[in-house]
């Protein structure tokens, strides 16, 4: 049987810098052996959704800007670095980087958290198009969209750690 420390050690990072989500999911008693990606993802998402708006906002704010300062300085988590590289965000032209920087700044000013998108399977052009579209959303719509994207990211990360049943 997986113990709490082991579960949190394996899965505490799938929601960016927020191991409390794995802790709360484990504490529900609904984590069944053997671990399978689908049920684990469902349990973690349920814990995330049950959190207060401020707690969920904290999760959103824990995410790095896409192609932002942390990426340049090498300060991303291994998962974020790999995900951004997979979308080509580590190979931007100076003009593309300037566009991301401008959008990141405008988005953060408008919403109070960084632009979040599950980049797996997307190109930098796909990401920029989504950025341009979503920056026009109202705050509640974008909060909900960002939370849904965080859950998608967690799903990809879980699938790389836990096998499907």
Domains in the chain: boundaries = 4-57, 64-153
> According to the model, what pLDDT value does residue 102 have?
93
| Residue 74 clears pLDDT 60, i.e. is over it | no
Give the global pTM: 0.89
- What is the tens place of the pLDDT at every residue in 21-58? 999 999 999 898 899 999 999 999 999 999 999 999 99
CATH architecture of 64-153: Orthogonal Bundle (1.10)
Active-site choice (17, 41, 63, 97): 63
Residues in CB range of 49: below 8 A, 6 or more apart: 147
Neighbours of 117 (CB within 10 A): 21
Q: Is position 63 annotated as part of the catalytic site?
A: yes
Residue pair 37/158 in contact by the 8 Å Cβ criterion: yes
- What is the DSSP annotation of 114-162? ------TT--HHHHHHHHHHHTTS-HHHHHHHHHHHHHHHHHHHHHHHS
């Amino acid at each position: 049987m997986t113990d709490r420390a082991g579960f949190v050690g394996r899965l505490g990072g799938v929601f960016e810098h927020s191991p409390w989500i794995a802790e709360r999911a484990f504490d529900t008693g609904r984590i069944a052996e053997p671990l399978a990606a689908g049920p684990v993802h469902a349990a973690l998402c349920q814990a995330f959704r049950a959190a207060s708006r401020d707690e969920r906002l904290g999760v959103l704010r824990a995410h790095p800007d896409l192609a932002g300062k942390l990426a340049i300085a090498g300060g991303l988590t291994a998962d974020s670095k790999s995900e951004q590289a997979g979308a080509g965000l580590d190979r931007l032209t100076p003009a593309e980087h300037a566009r991301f920087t401008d959008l990141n700044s405008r988005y953060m000013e408008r919403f109070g958290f960084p632009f979040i998108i599950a980049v797996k399977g997307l190109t930098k052009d796909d990401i920029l198009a989504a950025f341009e579209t979503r920056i026009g959303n109202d705050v509640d719509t974008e909060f909900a969209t960002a939370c849904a994207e965080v859950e998608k990211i967690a799903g990809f990360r879980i699938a790389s750690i836990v096998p499907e049943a």
